[in-house]
Structure 1
């Protein structure tokens, strides 16, 4: 009997951020507009990237709104 185990993970990375008007609904801190990059890896080899923009909290890091 052969058993295969594959490792798949996904990482989010902030490329750039700029201050934005508004506050976070969770902690009340300020917000910023961030260019995000999501990378999906299969057995430590990246095979899919996606860039998107999000409004996120500067204190807790929560994504308030995303634009795909």
Structure 2
């Protein structure tokens, strides 16, 4: 019997961000709107990626709202 195990991972990266009016509900830090990219890899080869926007805290890094 042969068993194969493949590595699949997903990374989220911020491409660019700019500050917006408002503050974080968790820590009170400033907020920024960020262009995000999600990349899914299968055995270290990227096979799916998606771009989307999110409002993030600049201090604690919490994602306050996402627009997919």
Aligned length: 68
What is the alpha-carbon distance in structure 2 between the residues aligned to residue 26 and residue 14 of structure 1?
Answer: 20
Does residue 37 (structure 1) correspond to residue 50 (structure 2)? The answer is no
* Separation of aligned partners in 1, 2:17 and 2:34: 4
| Corresponding residue number in structure 2 for 1:9 | 9
- Structure 1: give runs of 5+ residues left out of the alignment: none
Matches within 5 A, 1:47-62: 47-62=47-62
TM-score, length of structure 2 as denominator length: 0.97
Residue by residue over 1:18-60, the C-alpha shift from the partner in whole angstroms, topping out at 9 and shown as x without a partner, is 0011111111100000000000000000000000000000011
C-alpha root-mean-square deviation of aligned residues, in Å?
Answer: 0.5
Q: Which runs of 5+ in 2 are unaligned?
A: none
Quote the Cα distance in structure 2 between the aligned partners of 1:31 and 1:67: 15
